[in-house]
Amino acid sequence: MVVTLGLTGYMVSAYLPPDLATSRVDVHGDPVRYWLLAGHIGFGTIATVAGLAQFWPWLRRTRPRAHRWAGRVYFFAGVFPAMVLTVPVVLASESGMSNVSALATMLVMWAITGVAGLRAARSRRFSDHRAWMIRNYAVTVSVHASRLWGAVVIPLVLLQADGPAYQGDTRAIIHDIAGAGAWLGLFVNLAVVEWYLRRRARPVKTARNAPSPTGSGSGSGTVPPVAHRLADPAQRG
């Protein structure tokens, strides 16, 4: 939580107050491009913060209304408007095809997981809703993760800067760092989330149901994962 908020604060700091002169992305003095970018960042920040609140167990358990409202803010004042503004921002990006294709993939994954999460909530499939929202937030913070991957990618690329891979070409170096960071941020986040969701979905062994050595246990020693989770209000999404 602290890392996500800290990174968001750092990323957003250059755009508060909005000023074309301090933009980290070179928009070539174009105010339309700048405001599309600033809007994207504003809605992206709302999504990041509102989404973070959804993973706070205390809020889900004790303030279900606040949880639902934060969910609406996450989608309708965060992810969805950010997605619309992200399209021109991605199309205008000059950070190389590898980075642009990673960002376009993020955008598609953001849309697919967001719509699936919303539909699951509307049809009260809370277990599915929770899984899709975890995937969706993993995409939201893949942008933050890509900045963290920079700590690994930048030194590795710089070590080869004058070698045959880059031959001192600064543009190629910048594009490669951006592309590698974006792909790693997205792929590793989604892989970790799938691993976590599969682990949770495994049947849960319970002491009560476990078969005794004499064979007198009441069942197979497991409870179905979904039923188990639905029995716990804190885990209903």
Ramachandran angles phi, psi of 223, nearest 5°:
-120, 145
Q: Which residue is nearest to ligand HEM (CB)?
A: 44
| Closer to ligand HEM by Cβ: residue 83 or 131 | 83
Return the structure tokens found at 185.
Answer: 């941020």
| Closer to ligand HEM by Cβ: residue 54 or 127 | 54
Return the structure tokens found at 64.
Answer: 């279900």
| Closer to ligand HEM by Cβ: residue 19 or 162 | 19
| Closer to ligand HEM by Cβ: residue 14 or 192 | 14
Closest CB 157 distance from ligand HEM, rounded Å: 17
| Closer to ligand HEM by Cβ: residue 90 or 153 | 90
Closest CB 149 distance from ligand HEM, rounded Å: 14
Closest CB 114 distance from ligand HEM, rounded Å: 10
What is the spatial distance between Cα 57 and Cα 235, in angstroms, rounded to a whole number?
Answer: 9
| Closer to ligand HEM by Cβ: residue 8 or 54 | 8
Coil, strand or helix at 152: helix
DSSP string, 121-149: HHTT-HHHHHHHHHHHHHHHTHHHHHHHH
Closest CB 124 distance from ligand HEM, rounded Å: 27
Contact positions toward ligand HEM, by CB under 6 A?
8, 11-12, 14, 24-25, 40-41, 44-45, 47-48, 86, 89-90, 93, 95, 103, 106-107, 110, 139-140, 143
Q: Taking Cα atoms as reference points, which of 78, 87, 66, 92 lies closest to residue 8?
A: 78
CA dist list (Å): 160 to 146, 154, 177: 20, 10, 12
Closest CB 35 distance from ligand HEM, rounded Å: 13
Residue where the block lists tokens 């909530």: 121
Q: Taking Cα atoms as reference points, which of 207, 211, 231, 232 lies closest to residue 220?
A: 211
Closest CB 178 distance from ligand HEM, rounded Å: 7
